[in-house]
Chains A and B, each alone.
Chain A
């Protein structure tokens, strides 16, 4: 049983989803979905806890690689799977009341089935060691997220989903083209095999093209500026629960795939020395951080504000990854985790507002600090995390990024990064002032505090941003181990 855990992470939710469509009873499906999510979370915890004995390699159907598909669990994939499934589980626990209000009853079982599929896709992207399989799981998660987004209450939701579908499909296709070219050059789809055979063909132009297609494809899925245009609408018009889950996890998993691409399949030398991807990444990240943060400042819808902030935050992760040393990579990976918690938590807060106030316009949230004190306070705490105040998770990643930028003597990056984080103060505090210092709007005046069933999961996530701001053994510590093993793998790759 224990050795089957890697495949169970995928099989359980993948099998459950169609089953739930058949069951159709929305109460039962909800309960079972929660059960599945927590089970998967339990499995990822046990996988991560087994990492101290070394990485796990699982051959699907007993077929040895390269004939069969291999699932690889190492520190990085186990860590990403852990927070994807963890947030998936906590968001689905938080979900019922919000889904009840925002999604039509007839669609509930479909909704939960898509949710599980989306999670399956994201977990699959993390665990698989086969490049084509990554594409398959990418499409599973993307298609299900298009469906989830289109379930939003307003009529703009299907449009936003369509917009995302078109751009997202372009991204996925680019990724597929890259895989095709790689397969043509190396004759294999197994990541480790590709890595070992790449050296011979590394200098060919086909490799450059393949790498470029895959990078751009992933950039679209990550919503890197200026390829981010799908994201604000998709986040804004999706049902609150979907936004919580997707914002917390989907872009991070694409970042994860990007890390794999650079550090495992290709080499950092290829990406950063043969190609100037590091300076390009830094430039795009910094410009993106500034542009998206400024855009966030001018938003009038709280969800859209957070969506732009997400675009900015991806920049910090990429900054860390582009540094290609242990410190920078640790910072990038840590920020994936921390930002998942912070943004997930903040969108959960927004979901509470959506439930009780029924509007997400900032002007309707005026004065909600009095009628919804707990929800509003959760916003303050989560917002402090996003700003990066000490003793919050955001500070940890900011500090790691800063110190590794300085150790590489990247002064402009360090200074710009710090300045950009001040923009977060502006857009977060604007909402805080609206919540606490403005005369109450007529919607906020009559609002009740959010139900405990939503507040408790929200506070668990928001509280964990404080916990992981003070105690980083299981965030920065694991990220550090993951970064070391990634850079260690590439060194071995260099020897071969």
Chain B
């Protein structure tokens, strides 16, 4: 199979999954779920095959055709998108297994719709990951919003309705009001929307079609328009989305949806602006002109700290993890805004590292809910004795989120910190350090208390969640540690995105 064919096969597979899920439906849940698993495994195999080509320097592309005169739906695979696709498709397998355990253990309704929407979200994630131009990315981005709405509101009650309203409201309005405007503006000045190494805005900037200040405004439109990156003040949708069943929170709000957001920001920074343009364009007169993206750096830094502080106040485990996600996403935005080669590589790496770590934490939250029916952290004292595997996995993943070796997150944070030093943003370096401390403060006590403190009234017996829940979370927990030892490989793989600009 040529890599070009692999692209459309990869995107076709989730669509096949949707069709199969609907055809089989409630008649035979076992067959329906095996189809999903089978296809997710096939998809992972296809993406690994494709990764072989891409990581060795290939840039396969595939054109669907023009959706509008001059605006093409086209796909080109480059390392960053490939990494994202690998993460999304790999974790889809585990999440499906986990979802079976969770949804059945919990007797959820409308499971057919659930699996179908899940597959369509994966389709959107792949389309975004492989997008060859901003137009295609935007279409995939919006498709993701729409296809995940039924998942967020899965329970169909008043709470779900409210959460869904915030979710859809923020994501749609930011994307329409800012993102779409930014894309059209880019097209007007650059005459193209293709993701090009080195960016497409440098020449219009030289030609005077867009001034330095306007570049900064455009960057702002992108940063706020891509609401899925959850930069404050447009982060409220993420905690609101936690009304969804936990597998949704796990895959979508730790991996697919939020990562499409930060992935888009990285893509825009690397392939639309070009990191050279961002880092070399200075605003203001005098001895110390500021970088055009400085305000975004500090906004990202503020989001990192504020979200961590909010996370500390949350007693509901999923809410705490949600705010932790907001904070961690801002790391990646920071990487894009700093625009040095180390910082964008760090940002790209963090997509993978955070995905594996955070999905583990969400899996654990769900397993605790299914196994012990607890949602609040204050009730989890002594739970480690009943659920040692879950809590052990939680601890491992926590290391990765904090950025301590041997967690994979250590590497990405290291490169981001390098980026702040290279650009002389020492306050942001301090923010990163403080944030790590805050991470320790709000995440570590959970497993520690679970293991150390004696349980409340009755001594707890060993009672884990169903195996379908526990096995995936153990795999991802181990994965978050294994990634630490592959830091170098991921760095090498991502190196082309930072150097091809030169």
- Chain A: residues with CB nearer than 8 A to chain B? 384, 387-391, 396, 399-400, 402-403, 406-407, 414-415, 418-419, 421-422, 425, 429, 433, 436-437, 470-472, 476-477, 480
Contacts and interface: CB of A to CB of B under 8 A. Distances in A.
A400 B184 CA distance: 10
Contact of A472 (B67, B169, B176): B67
A396 B73 CA distance: 13
Interface in B166-207: 168-169, 172-173, 176-177, 180-181, 184-185, 187-188
B69 A422 contact: no
A399 B177 contact: no
A389 B144 CA distance: 11
Contacts of B157: 437
B138 interface: yes
Given A406-B184, A437-B158, A476-B69, A419 B142 contact: no
B156 interface: yes
A422 B143 contact: no
A79 B432 CA distance: 60
B143 A425 contact: no
Contacts of B172: 387, 389, 422, 425
Given A390-B138, A425-B169, A472-B67, A437 B161 contact: yes
Contacts of A396: 67-68
Contacts of B168: 425, 429
B68 A384 contact: no
A389 B179 CA distance: 13
Interface of B: 65-69, 71, 138-139, 142-143, 146, 153, 156-158, 160-161, 165, 168-169, 172-173, 176-177, 180-181, 184-185, 187-188
A419 B71 CA distance: 23
Given A391-B143, A406-B188, A419-B177, A436 B165 contact: no
12 contacts: A389-B146, A390-B139, A399-B68, A399-B184, A403-B188, A415-B181, A419-B177, A437-B156, A471-B67, A472-B67, A472-B68, A480-B69
Given A384-B146, A390-B139, A437-B158, A470 B67 contact: yes
A432 to B, nearest CB: 9
A403 B161 CA distance: 34
B161 A472 contact: no
Contacts of A406: 184-185, 187-188
B165 A390 contact: no
A234 to B, nearest CB: 31
A326 to B, nearest CB: 11
A452 B278 CA distance: 57
A396 B169 CA distance: 21
Contacts of B143: 390-391
B69 A390 contact: no
Contacts of B153: 436-437
B165 A429 contact: yes
Given A390-B142, A390-B143, A437-B161, A407 B188 contact: yes
A436 B173 contact: no
A415 B180 CA distance: 10
Nearest to B178: A418
A422 B67 contact: no
Contacts of A391: 139, 142-143
Contact of B180 (A400, A418, A472): A418
Contact of B176 (A400, A418, A436, A480): A418
A419 B178 CA distance: 9
B139 A403 contact: no
A387 B176 CA distance: 10
B67 A418 contact: no
A200 B66 CA distance: 45
A401 to B, nearest CB: 10
Dominant SS at the B interface?
helix
Nearest to B139: A390
Most chain A Cβ neighbours within 10 Å, of B160, B165, B169, B180:
B180
A433 B184 contact: no
Given A403-B184, A476-B68, 13 more contacts: A389-B146, A390-B139, A390-B142, A391-B143, A406-B188, A415-B181, A425-B172, A425-B173, A429-B165, A429-B168, A433-B165, A437-B157, A476-B69
A16 B139 CA distance: 46
A317 B289 CA distance: 46
A414 B142 contact: no
A414 B184 contact: yes
A436 B158 CA distance: 11
A326 B405 CA distance: 60
Contacts of B142: 389-391
Contacts of B146: 384, 389
Nearest to B141: A390
Contacts of A402: 180-181, 184
A391 B138 CA distance: 11
Contacts of B160: 437
B313 to A, nearest CB: 29
A406 B143 CA distance: 25
B86 to A, nearest CB: 25
A270 to B, nearest CB: 29
B136 to A, nearest CB: 10
B184 A422 contact: no
Contacts of A422: 172-173, 176-177
Nearest to A370: B156
A436 B188 contact: no
Nearest to A430: B165
B222 to A, nearest CB: 15
Contacts of A437: 153, 156-158, 160-161
Contacts of B67: 396, 470-472
A399 B71 CA distance: 10
Shortest 5 CB-CB distances between A and B: which pairs?
A390-B139, A437-B161, A406-B188, A390-B142, A402-B184
Contacts of B138: 390
Contacts of A419: 177
Contacts of B187: 403, 406
A169 B181 CA distance: 42
B337 to A, nearest CB: 24
A119 to B, nearest CB: 30
B156 A436 contact: yes
Residue among A390, A399, A415, A480 with max Cβ neighbours from chain B (10 Å): A390
A115 to B, nearest CB: 35
B156 A477 contact: no
A415 B181 CA distance: 7
Nearest to B172: A425
B224 to A, nearest CB: 13
Nearest to B186: A406
A418 B66 CA distance: 23
Nearest to B136: A390
Contacts of B156: 436-437
A473 to B, nearest CB: 8
A419 B187 CA distance: 20
A444 B188 CA distance: 49
A407 B181 CA distance: 12
Given A384-B146, A429-B168, A400 B185 contact: no
A418 B180 CA distance: 8
Contacts of B161: 433, 437
Contacts of A418: 176-177, 180-181
A434 to B, nearest CB: 10
Nearest to A408: B188
A396 B180 CA distance: 12
B7 to A, nearest CB: 18
B15 to A, nearest CB: 13
Nearest to A429: B168
Contacts of A471: 65, 67
A412 to B, nearest CB: 12
A400 B168 CA distance: 24
A384 B145 CA distance: 12
A390 B124 CA distance: 12
Contacts of B65: 471
Nearest to B71: A399
A472 B69 contact: yes
